[in-house]
Structure 1
Amino acid sequence: MMVLISYDVCTMDSEGKKRLRKVAKECQNHAQRVQNSVFEADLDYSSFLKLKEKLTTLINPKTDSLRFYYLGNNWKRRVEHIGAKETYDPEGVIIL
């Protein structure tokens, strides 16, 4: 299932900056960055729940925000890209 993950972490102090780095790194480990703080993740439900749990423990719910948009399995019909930065196919071949 495709999930769009966005976050906003308060970076007014060093703890916030540290949280921001941790949240970004965790997202990069499981998803593709499509904007500065927006990631697309094509995960099975179990993997998604683990990622959600990890991200939830990293943020401070009093000052930070974390949003999940569930696009499901038919996500290609729900995503339209216009402009810079070529889109990618998460189901395609990845060459390392």
Structure 2
Amino acid sequence: MFILISYDIRHDKRRSRIAKTLKNFGTRVQYSVFECNLTAIQLSEVRSQLSAIIVPNEDSIRFYSLPKDAVTAIVILGHGVVTQDPIFYWTD
């Protein structure tokens, strides 16, 4: 599933930890926005890891799940491309 994750983190140290964690799951497309192609298990894992970092009454992380037809309708003004699933080939 295609997930857009945005965050607003009050303190620099936590913000850096959030960004570092998200780099393991997706592609940074803006300073505080990541596009991620995740399985349900990966989504659960990233939410768990991020929950352990934030201070709930100070920080905010938003997860936007986009249906496939919405992903194909994304328009980008300026430079950049929509994150896509990597293509893997299995050979023997």
The alignment's TM-score, normalised by the length of structure 1, stands at 0.80
Q: Percent identity?
A: 33
The alignment's TM-score, normalised by the length of structure 2, stands at 0.83
Residue segments in structure 2 that go unaligned for 5+ positions in a row: none
What is the deviation of 1:53? 1.1
What is the deviation of 1:86? 2.3
More helix by share: 1
Do structure 1's residue 91 and structure 2's residue 73 form an aligned pair? Answer: no
The two structures, once aligned, show a CA RMSD in angstroms of 1.8
Residue segments in structure 1 that go unaligned for 5+ positions in a row: 11-15
Question: Alpha-carbon deviations, 1:36-72, whole Å to 9, x = none?
Answer: 0000000111111100111111111111111000113
Count of equivalent residues: 88
Map of 1:40 onto structure 2: 35
Map of 1:60 onto structure 2: 55
**Superposed structure 1 runs of 4+ greater than 3 Å apart:** 72-75
Matches within 5 A, 1:1-96: 1-10=1-10, 16-83=11-78, 85-93=79-87
Taking a change above 3 Å as real, the CA distance of residues 49 and 36 of structure 1, as seen in their structure-2 partners, is: same
